[in-house]
């Protein structure tokens, strides 16, 4: 999900640290995701905000003007998100979130960055495990899952996009060595990078077109347990990768990866955040849920404005 708040948070971190790597380390995201956020921000305003070099970055005149204006706008957003709080004072404390490794890598960085900007006194702790259950672990405030079953005593709401598009991609160099890939069955003759879950199974790659669904299991040149490892291998030209669009977007934008089978791309339901249904909820949980509501309302307004 392209979020202007996340983009501004990324830009402010770069401006304060003077380097992409240091800013990425501060925000707990990859350098590629941070660079993608900066590019999206520049596309959004139609001007460069930083000049990049190998080690440092320089803020442009447009960038400095944006920082001056954004400080006030971000403060207004923080006040709006806290308006629903009944108690006096700013929400503070610790928010512990349990999720799966793929969600932690592909979704949580953008959400956590924007939330941390809006609520700087809340310390967010994200823990990922392959064997994440459909219930809250003791000591955790929230659980974020895909396709989780309904559990008595827990409520849920979407976190991020309601539908997430799956993308198949590879480097231009690798694709030049392969026969054209026009149908999912063509993947059976192509090298793939497969991601194995905690039980040792690799999920099939799903596609759909004109109501027809196809599931394929491409031959694995490499099998890994982490999506980040799969991405690094795909960027090195080892094989094709199958992942969510937002995760691959920085590399699709730069051309390091090229999408194939776009007409066949399939969208899956986005993840849900689960929390204890019975009140009272902690202030940190209520702040996070209010933040999600505000972000989704802003996204709906953006979509309506673009139609």
95 closest CA partner among 239, 284, 274: 284
Average of per-residue pLDDT across 137-157 = 78
Same fold yes or no, 93-162+270-306 and 163-268: yes
* Terminal alpha carbon distance of the chain: 18
Angle at 261 between CA 257 and CA 265, to 5 degrees: 100
Q: What is the pTM of this model?
A: 0.63
- In words, the CATH class of domain 163-268 is alpha beta
pLDDT tens, position by position, 260-302: 999 999 998 888 898 887 667 889 999 999 999 888 777 776 6
Residues paired with 207 in a beta bridge = 214
- Contact status, residue 215 vs residue 208, Cβ threshold 8 Å: no
pLDDT tens, position by position, 37-53: 888 888 888 888 898 76
pLDDT tens, position by position, 215-224: 999 999 999 9
- In words, the CATH class of domain 4-82 is mainly alpha
**Placement of tokens 């308006």 in the chain:** 83
**Cis peptide, bond prior to residue 280, ω within 30 of zero:** yes
Give the contacts of 225 (CB within 8 A, at least 6 positions apart): 101, 130, 195, 196, 197, 198
**Count of CA atoms in the C-beta half-sphere (13 A) of 46:** 0
168 closest CA partner among 153, 155, 178: 178
Q: How would you classify the pairing of strands 220-224 and 192-195?
A: parallel
Alpha-carbon gap, residue 269 to 48, rounded angstroms: 35
Neighbours of 28 (CB within 10 A): 13
- Contact status, residue 221 vs residue 2, Cβ threshold 8 Å: no
CATH architecture of residue range(s) 93-162+270-306: 3-Layer(aba) Sandwich (3.40)
Least confident stretch, 67-76, 102-111, 187-196: 67-76
Average of per-residue pLDDT across 166-189 = 97
> Where are the chain's structural domains?
4-82, 93-162+270-306, 163-268
Q: What is the mean pLDDT of the chain?
A: 84
- Contact status, residue 37 vs residue 7, Cβ threshold 8 Å: yes
């Amino acid at each position: 999900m392209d979020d202007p708040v996340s983009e501004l948070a990324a830009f402010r971190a770069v401006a304060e640290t003077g380097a992409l790597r240091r800013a990425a380390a501060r925000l707990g995201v990859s350098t590629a995701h941070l660079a993608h956020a900066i590019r999206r921000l520049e596309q959004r305003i139609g001007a460069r905000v930083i000049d990049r070099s190998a080690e440092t970055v320089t803020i442009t005149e447009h960038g400095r003007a944006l920082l001056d204006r954004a400080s006030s706008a971000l403060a207004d957003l923080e006040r709006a998100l806290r308006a629903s709080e009944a108690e006096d004072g700013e929400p503070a404390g610790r928010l512990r979130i349990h999720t799966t490794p793929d969600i932690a890598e592909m979704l949580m960085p953008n959400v956590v960055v924007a939330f941390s900007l809006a609520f700087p006194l809340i310390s967010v702790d994200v823990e990922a495990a392959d064997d994440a259950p459909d219930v809250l672990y003791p000591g955790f405030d929230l659980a974020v899952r895909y396709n989780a079953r309904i559990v008595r005593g827990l409520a849920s709401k979407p976190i991020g996009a309601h539908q997430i598009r799956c993308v198949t991609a590879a480097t231009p160099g690798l694709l030049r060595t392969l026969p054209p890939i026009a149908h999912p069955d063509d993947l059976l003759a192509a090298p793939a990078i497969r991601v194995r879950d905690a039980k040792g199974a690799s999920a099939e790659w799903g596609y759909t077109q004109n109501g027809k669904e196809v599931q394929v299991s491409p031959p694995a040149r490499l099998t890994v347990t982490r999506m980040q490892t799969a991405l690094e291998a795909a960027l090195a030209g080892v094989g094709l990768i199958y992942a969510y669009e937002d995760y691959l977007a920085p590399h699709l934008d730069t051309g390091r990866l090229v999408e194939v089978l776009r007409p066949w791309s399939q969208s899956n339901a986005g993840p849900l955040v689960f929390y204890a249904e019975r009140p009272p909820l902690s202030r940190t949980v209520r702040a996070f849920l209010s933040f999600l509501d505000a972000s989704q309302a802003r996204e709906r307004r953006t979509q309506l404005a673009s139609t």
